[in-house]
Amino acid sequence: MRVTDPEADGLVLNSAWTNKIALLMMILGIISILFPLFVAVTSILLFGWVFIFAGISQILYALQSRNSGQVVWKTILGLLYLLAGIFLVTNPLEGVIAFTVVLGITIFVQGIIQVSIALQMRRSSLNWEWMLASGIIGIIFGIFVWSNFPLGAAWLIGILIGINLLFDGFWMLTFHSGRRGTLD
């Protein structure tokens, strides 16, 4: 007989929503693999606009909070956000190269964290190997980004985002289906 802790079941997202999110991640991963340059440039443009709006918001906040001090530093921070956003929106290909550096580090660190979590979860889930595989692939891709930088930056972002989303979606879809319970 399989017995599970009701509180733990509430923490585990084993629902139709989890499956929908996992499938959406997998679909977005496939689109990213098929159209890598489009995804890379689109990502940079999106981040650029986010920085622009963040910069404007920070500058407005700085101007409205004159009585609380540090107006100059708040304004400088807002200008940095704004300038970074303008740079990304006006130079998306150069932004792709800079973003590749950040993405490579992020995927590498995410891979290390996933490997660590998978090794900790190996006793509580039958499908922990998928998270382990996703983490190892993340580590390999992080190293791959650095070994091909900057030549492959333009297409590499889209491909890596796609493969990462595909594997993350896959392990999310399969992880909780193999969850082990305690025997009574």
What pLDDT is recorded for position 183?
Answer: 45
**How confident is the model at residue 153, as a pLDDT?**
65
Q: Please state the domain count of the chain.
A: 2
Residue 6: asked if its preceding bond is cis (omega within 30°), the reply is no
pLDDT at 49: 96
Tokens for 158, please give them: 């889209």
User: Which helix (H) or strand (E) element contains residue 127?
Assistant: none
| Same domain membership, residue 51 and residue 23 | no
For residues 59 and 21, membership in a common domain is answered with no
| HSE of 41, CA atoms in CB hemisphere, 13 A | 7
Span 121-169, pLDDT tens digits: 888 877 788 889 989 998 998 888 777 766 666 677 788 788 888 988 8
Cβ 108 vs Cβ 122: under 8 Å: no
pLDDT digits 0-9 by tens, 87-133: 999 998 888 877 777 777 888 999 999 899 889 888 887 778 888 99
Are residues 103 and 85 part of one domain?
Answer: no
What is the tens place of the pLDDT at every residue in 17-73? 888 888 999 999 999 899 988 888 888 899 899 999 999 999 999 888 877 667 888
Q: What is the pLDDT of residue 87?
A: 92
Which pair of tokens denotes residue 24? Answer: 């959406």
Examine the pLDDT at 182 and tell me if it is beyond 50. Answer: no
Distance CA 49, CA 47 (A): 5
Q: Are 26 and 71 members of one domain?
A: no
Q: Specify the pLDDT at position 69.
A: 66
Q: What is the mean pLDDT of residues 7-14?
A: 51
Instruction: With a cut of 90, say whether residue 184 has pLDDT above it.
Output: no
120 and 85 housed in the same domain: no
Same domain, 48 and 128: no
Same domain, 159 and 118: yes
Q: Quick one: 98 and 170 in the same domain?
A: yes
The answer on 120 and 96 residing in a single domain is yes
Look at the pTM and tell me if it is higher than 0.85: no
Selected residue with higher pLDDT from 128 and 181: 128
Q: Are residues 118 and 161 in the same domain?
A: yes
Same domain as 155, residue 127: yes
pLDDT the model gives residue 136:
94
User: What is the DSSP code string of 29-86?
Assistant: HHHHHHSHHHHHHHHHHHHHHHHHHHHHHHHHHHHHTGGGS-HHHHHHHHHHHHHHHH
List the domain range (segments joined by +) for residue 101: 2-34+92-183
Pair (136, 66) in one structural domain? no
